Amino acid sequence: MTRAASSAEQTGPGTAAITHLRAGRRDDALGVASPTPLLSWRVASASAGWMQSGYEIECRDASGTRTTGRISSSDFVLVPWPFAPLASRERVEVRVRAWNAEDAPTGWSATLDVEAGLLQPEDWTARFVAPEFSEGPAPLLRREFDVRSGLTSARLYVTALGVYEAQLNGERVGDHVLAPGWTSYDHRLRYQTFDLTGRLREGRNALGVMLGNGWYRGRLGFSGGRRNVYGEHLALLAQLELRYVDGTVERVVTDGDWRASPGPILASELYDGESYDARLEQPGWAEAGFDDAGWRAVRIVERDLTTLVAPEGPPVRRMETVRPVSIFQSPSGKTLVDFGQNLVGWVRLTVRGEAGRTVTLRHAEVLEHGELGTRPLRTAQATDRYTLKGGAPETWEPRFTFHGFRYAEVGGWPGEPGLDDLEAVVVHSDLERTGWFECSDPLVNKLHQNVVWGMRGNFLDIPSDCPQRDERLGWTGDIQVFAPTASFLYDVNGFLSSWLGDVAAEQNEEGVPPFIVPNVQGERSMAPAAAWTDAAVIVPWVLYERYGDKDVLTRQFGSMCAWVDFLDRHCGPARVWDQGFQFGDWLDPTAPPDQPGAAKTDAEIVATAYFARSAQFVAQAAAVLGYEDRAKHYASLAAEVRAAFARRYVTPDGRMMSDAVTAYTLALSFDLLSGEAQRVQAGERLAKLVRDGGYRILTGFVGTPLICDALTGAGRADAAYRLLIQRECPSWLYPVTMGATTVWERWDSMLPDGSINPGEMTSFNHYALGAVADWLHRTVAGLAPAEPGYRRLKIQPIPGGGLTFASARHVTPYGEASAAWVIRDGQIEVQVVVPPNTSATVILPGEEDTPLEILSGEHRWERPYRPVQRTLPTLTLGLPLVDLWDDEEALNAVLALAREKHPPLAGALKPGSGLRKLPLAVILGFSVENKALVPDVLALFERLNGARGRVPA
C-alpha cells in the first residue's frame, strides 16, 4: 500500500461556531473608515468537510433590529455590507450565524460593535491649532473643560501635523506610538478615534497633547535629506464629543482657547534621536487645575479637511521588550550594551544620579572591530540624550524617534549600568501574526526567523527599506518583491491597502507612481523604473490573491490601468522597454560596492519582462471586476509584449541575450517563452549557470525572490535547494553563519573578517532578499493558495536539500491551514489541516500524476519514499571541477583534505572558482604542494567510489 487513506477526523460531536467577526480590515471596529464596511468571519467547526450554504446577518441599534434573513452563499470573507450605509458616528451591533451543507445552523456569533468615524469634512468643527512659537522644544498643548452628569459616551477624534501623544487628566490616551503615522499628507492624513467614556469625571477635566516633528517636518531623505517636507509648523486637530442621556451633544475642539508651552523634549528627529531634559518637566500640565499662566496662545492653521481619513490598518505600538544579554567595554573603553537581536524601537532606561547629568545612548546594528559600527548610518545620528532631574530613580524612554539597532553605546552614566537598568522596546505596526515555518535545518530556521524580524522592523506604519540610516523610505521595489512573504507571515491587508492609497494619490498625470511612497524626493522619485513602479499593479494583485480582497482591486484599478497605459505609450509599437533610467537587477552580487546597478542582466530585459507581467495582472484584475472589454485589451497587450520579449531577447533554442541567471529566471517565472521546448532549454541553461556559479547567489533584488521558483518549475528543485543551503558568500545562509539576526541589504554587508562592506549603501536590516521565505512556505512545506484568499489550497511539498521534515502554518481568511511532512525509516508522512468552508488539492511527493481532492479537516498520508538522487559521475582526477561541485559529499571531503594539508588549494577548489572547467588533474598539477595531495585525493576517491559501487573506467 503506497498511500494511507485520508483521515479527515472529526474531533467530537460538537457544532460549528462563528468566530472572529470583524468589520473592514481591522480588528478594531471603532471609527471605521467606510459607511459600508466589509464583514468577515471564521468558523470553528467540530466536523470535517464543513461547508457553508448560507448566512444571516443581524444589525441592531437604538431604533430596532434589522436582518438580512438567510442568504444562500458560501462567502464569509469580506462580505459586502448588507444594510443602509452608516452615517458618521453611527453605532450598530452586528452578529452572524451560518448554515452548513445539511442546513444545520450555527449559533449566533458574539456581537460586534461597529461605529463609523467622521466620514465627511463637515463633521469637523475643530480646526488645526499651532503654537505661536515654531522652533525649539516640542510643544505641549492643553485645554480644560467641564463634564456634567448623565454622560453616556465620549469620543475623541484626533490627529496632528507632526506626531502626537495625548493625555486625559494626566493619563495617556491609547497606546499608539508615532500617531497619526506617515501618509502622503497633502492627500491623506489619518485621524484616530478613542473611546473616553469611562475615563471622564463629572466636573473639571483636562486634555493635554505633546507634539513632535515626526515625518511631517523632521529631516527626511538620504544625501543629507531635507526638513519641512510637508510644512514648517506643527499643529493639532482634536474633537472631543460628549453625549448625554438627554440627547444633547457638547464638543470640546481645538480652537483659539487652547494654550501652548515648550516641553522637556528639546529635540526629536527620526534619524537623529531625541533629547529630553527632565528638569523642564511641568508636573500636572495635562490635569485640571494646572496653572498655565505662563503658557502662550495658539493660532488657527488653515488645512483642507477633505484629506482626513480613518485608518484601515493597525497603529504602531510598543510590541515587546528585550533585555540585554551583556554589557561590556569596547577596545577604546566605551560602554556597550548588546541586546542580542537587531530590532527597531528604542532603549528604556532607569537611572539615578545628580540633577543636570546627561546620559547619552548611541545606537548601531553591528560592531566593527569591537566598536560601535556607525558608518552605515551615514548622516543619521541615532543618539538619544536624557538629562536627569535628580533625586529618586528615573525611568525614561523616547516618544518621537526610533532606531534600528542591536547595540547601544552608553555615555555619562553615573557609575556603571547594570543589566536591569536598560531594556530595548520593540516598536512596529501591530500586525496579527499569521504564518510560521520550521524545518530540520537550524540555519534555515534562523534564516526564517531573521526574515520575520526584518519585516517587523520595516513595517513601521509604512513598508520601508531599512530602519536605521538616513533613509527609512517606502521603496516600492522592496515591497513589490516581498508582499507575498509579508502576507503569509502577518495580516498586512489593511496596512498595505492604506499604503496603496498613497501610491495612487502620488501618481503623476501620466500615470507614473513614485518609486518611493510617500514621495519625499519630489521629481527625483518620479522616473518610471521597472519592478519598483510596477508595485502599483503587483501589490494589489498579491492582496487579492492572498486575501480574496476584490475591493482592493476595485479601489486600485484606476491606478493599475494608469501605470500600464503609460507603459503602452512609453514603449510604443515595439512593445519593449529599452529607454530611460532603470534600477535593473539591483545589487547583483557581482556588481562593485559603489555601483549597485551594474548587474549582469541587461536592465531592458528586466523592464520588458515587468511590462508583460503588469499588463497581464491588469487583464486578470479587469476580468475579476467584470470589465470584459478591458480584460481583453490588456490581455492582448500582455501577449504583444511577451511576443516582443521573445523576439528581442530569446533565441529559438532558449538562450537569452543576457546570458545571466536573472534573465532566465524572469523569462521562466513570467511565462515569456514560446513553447515547451524553449522552456526546457531555458531551464537547463538556468540550472547550468547556477551550477557554474558554484550554487552561490548570482541574482539581485529582481532575480533573488524568483530564482528558486524558476528552478523548481524547470524540474531542478535540487539546484534550488543547493542555493538555499549554501553557506559561502553570496548566499542566504552566509549572514546567518556570521551571526545575523535580520536579513541584510547586501549578501556581504559584513565581510568574513568582521569589517563592514565598504559601499556607502550598507544595511543590516533590509527585508527584500528575505522574499525566499515565500518559496519555503509554498514549496518546501508545500502550503499555497490555489484560489484567491485560500478559498482553495494547493498542498504540494517538494522535499530536498537533505531536510528530514518541514512544516508551515498559516491563518488564512477562513481559518488556520497547515502542511507538514517528515521522512524517517524509508517512509514519508504528510499531514494537512484544511480550514472550514475550503477545499484543497494535494499532490504528494513522487505522485505528481495523482492529485487528491479533499475537504476541510485533518488529513494524513504515509507511503514509502526515497529521495530523488541525481546521477553523479565516477570520481576520477579527470573530472572537471564543476562536476565535483555537484557531488556535495566528495566536494566537502576534498575541501576538508585541502584545508588540512594545503589551504590555498581549498580556495581554488571552492564553488564559484574561475577554474570550474579545468580537470582536477590539471589543478593538482599547478604546484608542488598541490601535487603532494594527489595520492590522498586518489585514496579518497577510491573509498567513495567503492562505497557507491562504482569502478573507474
Structure-block grid coordinates of residue 722? 543547493
Q: Are 443 and 727 in contact (CB under 8 A)?
A: yes
Total length of the chain: 953
- What's the per-residue H, E or C state across 81-92? CCCCCCCCCCEE
Sign of CA dihedral 922, 923, 925, 931: negative
Q: Bridge-partner residues for 155, per DSSP?
A: 195, 241
Q: Are 475 and 515 in contact (CB under 8 A)?
A: yes
Active site residue 862: no
- What's the per-residue H, E or C state across 109-158? CCCEEEEECCCCHHHCCCCEEEECCCCCCCEEEEEEEEECCCEEEEEEEE
Q: Are 402 and 346 in contact (CB under 8 A)?
A: yes
Nearest C-alpha neighbor of 179 from the set 313, 22, 27, 380: 313
Which one from 241, 312, 471, 640 is the annotated catalytic residue? 471
Active site residue 471: yes
Question: Which amino acid is it at 127?
Answer: R
Which one from 165, 241, 397, 745 is the annotated catalytic residue? 745
In three-state secondary structure terms, 676 is: helix
Determine if the peptide bond prior to 180 is cis (ω within 30°): yes
Q: Are 207 and 155 in contact (CB under 8 A)?
A: no
**DSSP-assigned states of every residue in 192-233:** EEEE-GGG--SEEEEEEEEEE-HHHHS-BSSTT-BS-SS-SS
Q: Is 597 exposed, middle or buried (0-12, 13-18, 19+ CB in 10 A)?
A: middle
In three-state secondary structure terms, 892 is: helix
Structure-block grid coordinates of residue 707? 530564482
CA-CA distance, 572 to 581, in Å (whole number)?
A: 17
Residue 30 phi, psi (nearest 5): -95, 120
Question: Left, alpha or beta for 206 (phi > 0: left; psi -120 to 50: alpha)?
Answer: beta
Structure-block grid coordinates of residue 188? 491623506
CA-CA distance, 188 to 129, in Å (whole number)?
A: 19
Residue 777 is given by DSSP the state I
Determine if the peptide bond prior to 314 is cis (ω within 30°): no
Q: Are 55 and 94 in contact (CB under 8 A)?
A: no
Structure-block grid coordinates of residue 751? 565581510
CA-CA distance, 553 to 97, in Å (whole number)?
A: 28
Rounded to 5°, angle at Cα 53 from 47 and 59:
105
CA-CA distance, 800 to 695, in Å (whole number)?
A: 15
CA-CA distance, 362 to 351, in Å (whole number)?
A: 17
CA-CA distance, 461 to 63, in Å (whole number)?
A: 38
**Consecutive H or E run containing 617:** helix 603-624
Residue 717 phi, psi (nearest 5): -60, -30
Q: Is 869 exposed, middle or buried (0-12, 13-18, 19+ CB in 10 A)?
A: exposed
Q: Is 320 exposed, middle or buried (0-12, 13-18, 19+ CB in 10 A)?
A: middle
CA-CA distance, 686 to 650, in Å (whole number)?
A: 13
In three-state secondary structure terms, 427 is: strand
Q: Is 201 exposed, middle or buried (0-12, 13-18, 19+ CB in 10 A)?
A: exposed
CA-CA distance, 378 to 361, in Å (whole number)?
A: 17
CA-CA distance, 78 to 842, in Å (whole number)?
A: 26
| Residues taking part in catalysis | 471, 745
